[in-house]
Amino acid sequence: MAGIDEIDKKLLIELRKNGRATLTELSKKLGLSVASIKNRVSKLERLGAIKGYSTLVEPTFLDEYLQALIELELLVEDPRTDLVLHEIGKLDNVLGIYKKTGEFQILIRANFKNMDELKEFLNLLSRRYLRKNLRRWRVTIVLEVLKDGGISLSKETQRKNNR
């Protein structure tokens, strides 16, 4: 990518692993001064390489015990679909929306308190947002998240970190 070098790429990898890493920690890992790291982070933000910062939250603290991957098959390519997907993305429980290849064109990743809330969400999709353009959906329930947002969440890793 134009405007970034190998050191910038290493910095991005470190930030993807731990977005809360301090400039001092990053400078030690990469062997650069704190000022150099600060300048590089600012540059990467300006270029759009760093899109933002967020916190990976344990869903059960929000009473969300169910994560679903919802695939949508649309009837036709509609120019308004992007606007509709943007509106769906504003819903608090929606974690991600992806356009993809294959039989189903859209993938939504969302958390729910229970099956009833998931059913309500599916009804909302079919009756409000995609009323005329939804052919069908396919829902997969996530049993366990092993890695999310670049962070390993396996029980073994958690046990090691808690020692």
- Poorest-confidence range of 8-12, 23-27, 39-43, 127-131? 127-131
Q: Could you read off the pLDDT of 87-110 as tens digits, one per residue?
A: 999 999 999 999 999 999 999 999
In this structure, the number of other CB atoms found within 10 A of the CB of residue 108 comes to 23
Please, are residues 88 and 108 in contact by the beta-carbon 8 Å criterion?
Answer: yes
Smallest CA-to-CA distance from 13 within 162, 4, 155 is with: 4
Domain spans, the chain: 6-47, 59-148
Please, are residues 41 and 50 in contact by the beta-carbon 8 Å criterion?
Answer: yes
- Residue 11's Cβ-count burial label (10 Å; 0-12, 13-18, 19+) is buried
Class of domain 6-47: mainly alpha
Band of the pLDDT at 111, cuts 50, 70, 90? very high
Q: Could you read off the pLDDT of 25-44 as tens digits, one per residue?
A: 999 999 999 999 999 999 99
* 59-148 has the same fold as 6-47: no
**Residue 102: CB partners within 8 Å, gap ≥ 6?**
none
d(CA 19, CA 12): 9
Class of domain 59-148: alpha beta
Please, are residues 99 and 105 in contact by the beta-carbon 8 Å criterion?
Answer: yes
d(CA 17, CA 99): 25
Which carries the bigger pLDDT value, residue 151 or residue 65? 65
